[in-house]
Amino acid sequence: MNVGNRSGQIFLACSAIVMLLMFLLAACDQPERLRSNAELGLNEQQARGRAIYDLRCAACHEPYRKKDLNGPTMSGVFKKSYLPSGMVARDDRVGDIILMGKPKMPAFGDVLTQQQLQDLLAYMHTL
Ligand code: HEC
């Protein structure tokens, strides 16, 4: 085995380790994303809401991380009295935002049924 091959192998091994560490870091950063509904203690309605959230909202709003993505984080959205924008954090207000959208957020009024909206809000209360 020549030296070139050996350093190549070491490089590959190091890359694999770095990738593994990065994956673990990402998983540790947001462990809730990997947990099952049962592990998170979600009831049936909240679990239905979680599926809707992951499909429609998660691309723009972090559910479990206090970091903004394309929109403000939804972590702890109902735990405080006010939304990041200063609006009161109440089901009817948040529901209106979801149905009507915002300048940089699509409206979901044509997409979600009233039941789906309720499921979504129920899940968001667990964040
Ligand atoms: C394409 C990206 C995008 C998607 C998808 C999206 N949002 Fe948003 N959302 C935003 C942005 C950006 C804002 C900030 C307001 C603005 O700049 O228009 C926002 C604002 C909000 C707010 C108001 C926060 C405040 O402080 O007033 C709520 C609540 C919200 N989004 C919930 C949701 C939910 C629930 C979904 C899924 C049904 C969703 N959003 C889907 C981008 C998105």
Atom 36 in ligand 1: which residue has the minimum CA distance?
57
Best substitution site from 61, 66, 82, 93 to test ligand 1's pocket, by max atoms within 8 Å of Cβ?
61
pLDDT of residue 16: 83
Q: Which of 46, 67, 105, 125 to mutate to test ligand 1, by most ligand atoms within 8 A of the CB atom?
A: 105
Helix (H) or strand (E) holding 120: helix 114-124
In angstroms, the CA 49 to CA 57 distance is 11
Position 1 pLDDT exceeds 80 = no
The pLDDT tens digits for 52-111 are 999 999 999 999 999 899 999 999 999 999 999 999 999 999 999 999 999 999 999 999
CA–CA gap between residue 96 and residue 50 (Å, rounded):
19
| Spatial distance between the Cα atoms of 17 and 83, rounded to a whole number of angstroms | 40
The C-alpha atoms of residue 26 and residue 99 are separated, in whole angstroms, by 32
User: What are the tens digits of pLDDT across the range 8-59?
Assistant: 888 888 788 878 877 666 666 677 888 999 999 999 999 999 999 999 999 9
Q: 0.75 exceeded by the pTM?
A: yes
Atom index in ligand 1 nearest the CA of residue 102 equals 18
Residue of 84, 60, 63, 58 whose CA lies nearest to 71? 60
